Amino acid sequence: MNIKDLEYYQKLVATHSYTKTAEFFNLSQPSISAAVKRLSKEFRTLRKRREGALSLRPRGRFSTTAAVLNLFEMTKNEVAEANYPQLRGGVSPIVGKVYLAKILTELDQENLNHNIEITEAGSNDLSAKLENGAIDIALLNSLSPINNNHYQSKLLRTNSVKLIVSQQHHHSS
């Protein structure tokens, strides 16, 4: 069975017109007729035309046709998604809590979140995973610049760390 035949049939049921269905798909009317004939043979149904009107047997809404077409479309998307390259990322706990939700939301909005696998680990562990190829990219925090011959790093943000002490705290020198 050809899935396109179901698409043609669904449109034919909606329009009740071989001509309109053929025009919609930019096909000839005999192509639509042939598709319906194939489906009739596949499902062992009879079709009948009376006074120029389309009569489909067995009678019914054929809601499963739409469901089958939707499932087919979902399957095509899943197969395409499975072929996307996987991005293995790492994030340190602090960066993950502060930034990861926002980053993933932005990726989701841009439909760029396919096949992303996130590992949470400390910065030293993530550095080792980058070096040995266990992950492709990492978001981590470091108090000093990261210089490594095995990967490139880019400073995304600087934060100053401050020590704040209460005035009531007695410091003895």
94-122 per-position pLDDT tens digit: 888 877 778 778 877 777 666 788 888 98
Q: Which parts of 27-143 are beta strand (E)? A: 47-50, 53-56, 87-91, 116-120, 137-139
pTM for this one?
0.43
The structure tokens listed for 152 are: 């490139």
Interval 126-152 mean pLDDT = 84
The structure tokens listed for 143 are: 């108090």
Backbone region of residue 62 per phi and psi (left: phi > 0; alpha: psi in -120 to 50; beta: other values): left
Per-residue b or e along 97-122, where b marks 16 or more CB atoms closer than 10 Å to that residue's CB: eeebeebeeeeeeeeeeeebebeebe
What pLDDT was estimated at residue 55?
Answer: 52
The residue type at 20: K
β 87-91/47-50 pair status: unpaired
